[in-house]
Amino acid sequence: MAEFTMELNDEQKEVQDWLHGFAADVIRPAAAEWDEREETPWPVIQEAAKVGIYSLDFYAQQYFDPTGLGIPMAMEELFWGDAGIALSIVGTGLAAVGVLANGTEEQIGTWIPQMYGDAGDVKVAAFCSSEPDAGSDVASMRTRAVYDEAKDEWVLNGTKTWATNGGIANVHVVVAVVDSELGSKGHASFIIPPNTPGLSQGQKFKKHGIRASHTAEVVLEDVRVPGSCLLGGKEKLDERLARARERAKAGGERVKNAAMATFEASRPAVGAMAVGTARAAYEVALDYAKTREQFGRPIIDNQGVAFQLADMRTSIDAARLLVWRASWMAVNGKPFTAAEGSMSKLFASETAKKVTAEAIQILGGNGYTREYPVERMHRDAAIYTIFEGTSEIQRLVIARTLAGMPIR
Ligand SMILES: Cc1cc2nc3c(=O)[nH]c(=O)nc-3n(C[C@H](O)[C@H](O)[C@H](O)COP(=O)(O)OP(=O)(O)OC[C@H]3O[C@@H](n4cnc5c(N)ncnc54)[C@H](O)[C@@H]3O)c2cc1C
């Protein structure tokens, strides 16, 4: 177990400085343009690929950092630059982690490189779980995957929605029902290789924020993939389903807890994104409050403004500490007895929404315009309380965990 410390080590600080430089020099200056264009910022992703930020190597290095702080630190810096662009850069990583966590070595070696492409020809990947009638209630998913034994192929049918990079991805990872009796334990994940017939992009959404990130429906009509595209393989799936059936008969408690542990480990990463956006808005507000003069003095000389900034900074630091704690717990295999991962996501995302709104207030009329970035940051911040489980779902998970009740 890595020794506990409140400080990043020298290597982490170096990576942090490097990421901050990229966020400040490349991401932030491009943010307003790609927000207005509402398109995937391919040139920025390409720049990130050239310097090594858009790559499996980089992501894996942070993911396997023994202190657990690699991913939250990276997310905070990139999202400090801009949330929409940063999501376009890290969105592929979310799909890649699905393969890293559940795939065989062969699947990892075959598909992850195709998710990223290379600096000369960058690609993206999508993770497709949500459906029009299955958002918070993942267990009500309808997309079906049926095994065609004669051909050793899986046939997928259904409609996915809200997929980041959906339809423009080279590789899609799709979650589908293989046994409808088992709720979320009857789900399995499939790789849909590039140019597979039957997969198409449905509606592309015009969004409130993170507009540089592509979000769309993905329609699957008789999509046939080889048996080798089932993540983890058929044997492992059959064993898992058999165990789930046994446990369901015995009450299902342990099944639910295993699924929850996965979410607890991934949610702090979203919390870290929120910390990045909140910090960015706070910094703009602090600078503005020190330089904007009214009534013959900088507005920060008014206690009302100064205290607001003090509260903003306190909340951001508290959010980061919750995120770091949960990330450290995940990497050290600590049990999430109080749903600490959900706690970190809940607090950080609500903080981002509040802090970015307060930043607009501190900038007055300027804050309300697109001449200043806080208006965009506020629109972006709203996503953190929605994706990867809404704030209400985080509260539900925390409350049920504290009460010792099963999570549905
Ligand atoms: C920009 C964007 C990108 C996304 N990217 C992806 C992606 O890449 N892949 C993917 O699979 N999904 C993605 N999602 C989907 C996202 O995870 C869902 O939107 C989210 O889980 C909420 O589901 P929903 O939108 O169906 O809302 P619903 O589940 O319908 O919830 C609506 C409201 O009801 C509340 N609610 C629901 N159930 C309860 C309850 N039991 N108690 C209290 N309140 C409740 C919710 O909190 C919310 O306020 C993305 C979404 C967006 C907007």
pLDDT confidence of residue 257: 46
CA distance 194 to 171: 5
pLDDT confidence of residue 249: 81
pLDDT confidence of residue 408: 66
Residues with CB under 6 A from ligand 1: 127-130, 135-136, 162-164, 207, 210, 215, 383, 386-388, 390, 392-393, 396
| Pocket perturbation via mutation, ligand 1, pick of 171, 187, 387, 395 by most ligand atoms within 8 A of CB | 387
Of 115, 116, 134, nearest to 184 by C-alpha is 134
Burial class (CB in 10 A: 0-12, 13-18, 19+), 5: exposed
The secondary structure of residue 180, as a DSSP letter, is G
Residues 352/275, Cβ–Cβ less than 8 Å: yes
CA distance 106 to 229: 10
Residue 20: helix, strand or coil by DSSP? helix
Residue with the nearest Cα to atom 45 of ligand 1?
392
pTM for this predicted structure: 0.96
Catalytic residue, candidates 217, 264, 340, 388:
388
For helices 42-51 and 10-22, angle between their N-to-C axes, nearest 10 degrees: 150
Residues 25/37, Cβ–Cβ less than 8 Å: no
Of 33, 10, 2, 23, nearest to 376 by C-alpha is 33
State the closest ligand 1 atom to the C-alpha of 391, by its place in the atom list counted from 1. Answer: 47
- Residue 193 CA: distances (Å) to CA of 95, 113, 122, 168, 358: 13, 12, 16, 12, 45
pLDDT confidence of residue 254: 47
State the closest ligand 1 atom to the C-alpha of 160, by its place in the atom list counted from 1. Answer: 11
Cα 386 to ligand 1 centre (Å): 6
List the chain residues with pLDDT less than 50: 253-255, 257
- Residue 392 annotated to the active site: no
CA distance 138 to 136: 6
